[in-house]
Structure formats: C-alpha cells, structure tokens
Amino acid sequence: MTGLLSLDNLKSHVGAGEIDTVLVCLVDMQGRLMGKRFHAQHFLDGAWEETHCCNYLLATDLEMATPDGYAATSWEDGYGDYVMRPDLSTLRRVAWLDGTAMVLSDIVDHHKHEGVPHNPRTVLKRQVEQLEAHGLTANMATELEFFLFEKSFDEIRRSGFRDLEPISGYNEDYHILQTTKEEVVMRPLRNHLYASGVPVENSKGEAEAGQEELNIRYADPIACADHHTIAKHATKEIAWQHGHAASFIAKWHHDRVGSASHIHQSLSDRNGKSVFFDDSADHGMSGIMRHYVAGLIQYAADTTYFLAPYINSYKRFAKGTFAPTKTAWSIDNRTAGFRLCGEHTEAVRIECRIGGSDFNPYLALAAQLAAGLKGVKDKLELPPPTAGDLYASKRSRDVPSTLRAATEAMRKSKMLREAFGDDVIDHYTRAATWEQEEFDRVVTNYEVARGFERA
C-alpha cells in the first residue's frame, strides 16, 4: 500500500535526501507510541536490527510514574533494558512530519531474547497464533471517536483543564456543514494517514459538539491495532500542528456523551472464506459465529478492563448515550453491548460496543479474540437476541460499572489466565489497582466545591 516502505525503499529515500529521521517506536501499556528518533543513516547502518529501551516503559502509568508491585521490573531490580526489534513490515512514511519514517517494534527480553509476555503487541500476537492453531484467521476494525477543542494542548493545560470549549457548538452527527468547518484538521488527517499506509475509509461528525469519528478499513488483528495506534497518535499531532487539541478521554464532561471505540470482528478460514456466514441459518450466523458471540457475552465482565482501563472509562456507561450498560447482543441495535451487523450477508460480523476511546487496541482485540475463541472451543450456546431499549432490560447482565469491579473480574478470570498466562494477568491487575490507588488518594475539585462550605 502507498506509504509503506521496504528497507531498500528507505535507502533510496535517504540517499536522495528525502528522509532523514526514523522513529523507532514501541507501544506501551496505555497504547501510546514511545521510542527514539534515529538519524536515518544510523538506522540503516544497524539500528534496523535492534535498539534498546528501559523496561519501565511496560510498567508505568499515564504520568510515567514507577509504581511498585510489578514482578517484571522494579527499583529493586534496577530497571534494566529491553531490546526493541523493529518489525520492518510496519516501516512507513510519516506523511505529516517532514523527512520522517516510522517503524513499530516488538519487545524482547535483554537476557533470554524471548518476547516479553506483557508487551501489548506480544499479547495480541499470541492470541492470533491460537486462532491459527484452530485453522482460523480474523478480520477486525476499530472505530476511533474523539473530541476536537478550540484551544491547543498547551493552552488547555495552562488553564488547569477548565472551561473546555469543543471546536463546534452543536451536535454534529453526520453533519456536513459543521464538519466542513473542521476540515482544517480532518482533511490532512485522512490524507496524511492514507499516505502513511493506514487505509482510512472516512471521517464523520459524531453525536456531540466537537466529536469526530475516524473509520479505517478492516484488517488482520495486528495490522488493525497498528493502524489504530498510528491513527490516534497522528490525530493528536495533526490537531496540535493546527492549534487545536484532540482528546481520546472516554468522558470529558458529565453532561456530554463519551467517546467509544467499537470493535468489529469476524473469523475466516485459512483461504479467507468467512466461517461466520451461513445463508441457511438464522440471521446468516453460522454455528461457529454463534459460539464465538456466546463467548464474548459469557466473558464480557472478564474482559471489560481491557476495554475500559481507567477510572474515567466507567463514567461513559450511561443510559441514553449510545454507550451500553448491558452485555447482551441484539440485531442492529445500538443499545446493546454487542450488535449484529450485516445480517444475512457475507459481511455478517459482531460489533463490541463496550470499549472506550481510551483503550489499548492490542489488549482490547486480544481479549475479544480470547473470549470468542473460548466460546468456539467450548461450543457455548448463544442465547436469543434481545430487542428494544436494553438500558431498561432487567434480564441482561450489567457491564461492570467501576474499575474496581472490572479489575476483580479480570483478576479472577480463569479464561484470561488460560489465554494470556498468569504473569500477564497479574501484571495488568497491578496496572489497574495502581490507577485506583492514585485516584483514591486525590481530593477532586468536585469534592471541594460540594463540601467546602456546606459540609
């Protein structure tokens, strides 16, 4: 695809003076790009094989703190190195930065030279391997929702993140006039991503003032997560270049709808033929699809942490906001946690609507695949679809409503421990409990304003 580079392509561009910088990146636990900027010639001279990074990068939080309680690394162990091995299949131009290319890296233990189990890309790769062992492949797509704001990141930070003003003044869902006003950011975002090898389909206004949605063509799980991560990073950088801030926080204001990242998913055989579609079956859903969706529903609570990793993530789950509160499935119904799309067509698929815009796509996709494959292996029975307003349903199970509840469900999950390994689940359980501990110790503006005089 346009924008992707081979090592020989890169050599030509460097020799012609067109590329002088290579970003060698890893994806951290929060789904962010971390890494180094290499002079392009030094990258070609040897760094394309490997470089190093501190192992705390996979044991930190949004603030880059160094929490205790991780088995993988600590002050006691001295915070050593990991090896970053560039995955040259991800080498691409960064069209929105002058003279720049990018490559994503896999993370290898410095001593054993084995993949680091809790590295998000490794977690997803192992679930893809499990699928392949059963003769299956997956197609997945994520929708990216986010808000654009009038001011820049720096202006908003200096104001204490108060008086936030979205870039528009009214709900712009599918609104062409209002989104035309935002093309100063969205047009270069679409075009630069496409020129960088990310197969963007479209963008649209979402269901709130200043809210956008970016849609990228489905792909295999690793490519899908790579595209998501690069697109999220590009959105922030391109908005910054034009004097605006783009935020992927799940719920930035209690009176506004939140931002989601829905996951579309289907399975195929090794020849690329859908194993989800059966024209003779109800809704066109094959037996394998029914088992897979049953797994997603059965283990929805277990996997919620990987779809909603922060305290704020749970503020999004509110009725009447298009964010689900129930784990049931339904047919083309946006109040359900899982929505059947493409009924009775070869494009039949399931959409998980639980995930927020703040998730790490590698971990979120891995958790979905693990739950679905468990359903297939155990031949779980899919209950009948629900109908109507699921916010009012008394029969369907709730999505965990707090980080504490989701953390406990993850910690106790036999399915996830079997699929990911005890070390990985313990690692992310510590990440979750740290988030809770940090919030619990902070006195919020809400508490002060509510109780300062009246308590």
106-115, 127-136, 229-238: segment of lowest average pLDDT? 106-115
Report the percent of the chain where pLDDT is more than 70. 100
Taking residues 127-136, report their average pLDDT. 96
> Do the Cβ atoms of 382 and 292 come closer than 8 Å?
no
| pLDDT above 80: residue 390 | no
The reply to whether 1 falls in a domain is no
Residues 290 and 438 in one domain: yes
Q: 417: Cβ–Cβ under 8 A, 6 or more apart, which residues?
A: 425
The reply to whether 451 falls in a domain is no
pLDDT for the residue numbered 220: 97
Q: Which residue has the tokens 């394998």?
A: 288
Number of H helices, E strands in the chain: 14, 14
Q: For residue 397, what pLDDT band results from cuts at 50, 70 and 90?
A: confident
Whole-structure pTM value: 0.96
Residues 78 and 27 in one domain: yes
Q: Which domain holds residue 283?
A: 127-446
Taking residues 407-436, report their average pLDDT. 97
- The most distant pair of C-alpha atoms in the chain lies apart, rounded to whole Å, by 69
Beta strands 33-39; 21-27: pairing state: antiparallel
59-73, 252-266, 383-397: segment of lowest average pLDDT? 383-397
Please tell me the distance from the alpha carbon of residue 204 to that of residue 196, in angstroms, as a whole number. Answer: 20
pLDDT for the residue numbered 1: 59
Taking residues 243-259, report their average pLDDT. 95
Taking residues 276-299, report their average pLDDT. 95
Residues 112 and 237 in one domain: no
Residues 101 and 146 in one domain: no
> Do the Cβ atoms of 104 and 42 come closer than 8 Å?
no
CA 35 to each of CA 106, 198, 259, 325, 381: distance values in angstroms, whole numbers, following the listed order: 12, 20, 27, 37, 45
| pLDDT above 90: residue 94 | yes
pLDDT for the residue numbered 335: 81
The reply to whether 2 falls in a domain is no
The reply to whether 121 falls in a domain is no
pLDDT tens track for 24-38: 999 999 999 999 999
Taking residues 126-143, report their average pLDDT. 97
pLDDT for the residue numbered 88: 97
Comparing 386 with 5, which gets the higher pLDDT?
Answer: 5
Final residue belonging to a domain, choices 64, 94, 116: 116
pLDDT for the residue numbered 3: 87
The reply to whether 169 falls in a domain is yes
CA 10 to each of CA 4, 60, 249: distance values in angstroms, whole numbers, following the listed order: 10, 33, 35
- Residue 139 three-state SS: strand
Total domains in the chain come to 2
Final residue belonging to a domain, choices 68, 95, 116: 116
38-42, 98-102, 161-165: segment of lowest average pLDDT? 161-165
Final residue belonging to a domain, choices 116, 149, 179: 116
C-alpha of 373 from chain center: 20
C-beta atoms surrounding 454 within 10 Å: 6
131-135, 192-196, 325-329, 409-413: segment of lowest average pLDDT? 325-329
Residues 58 and 133 in one domain: no
Residues 73 and 15 in one domain: yes
Residues 273 and 414 in one domain: yes
CATH of the domain at 40: 3.10.20.70
The reply to whether 265 falls in a domain is yes
The reply to whether 455 falls in a domain is no
Q: 402: Cβ–Cβ under 8 A, 6 or more apart, which residues?
A: 314
Ramachandran category for residue 197: left, alpha or beta (phi over 0 → left; psi -120 to 50 → alpha): left
257-276 CB burial, b ≥16 within 10 A, e <16: bbbbbbbbbbbbeeeeebbb
Beta strands 51-54; 81-86: pairing state: antiparallel
Beta-strand ranges (E) seen in 224-333 are: 245-247, 263-269, 329-331
CATH of the domain at 183: 3.30.590.10
The mean pLDDT of the chain is 94
- Residue 319 three-state SS: coil
Angle ∠(110,100,56) on CA atoms, nearest 5: 30
Residues 212 and 332 in one domain: yes
Residues 313 and 441 in one domain: yes
Residues 95 and 156 in one domain: no
Residues 136 and 81 in one domain: no
Residues 142 and 69 in one domain: no
The reply to whether 282 falls in a domain is yes
Q: How many residues does the chain have?
A: 455
| pLDDT above 80: residue 127 | yes
> Do the Cβ atoms of 361 and 224 come closer than 8 Å?
yes
Taking residues 157-179, report their average pLDDT. 92
pLDDT for the residue numbered 303: 98
Angle ∠(411,413,416) on CA atoms, nearest 5: 100
| pLDDT above 80: residue 392 | no
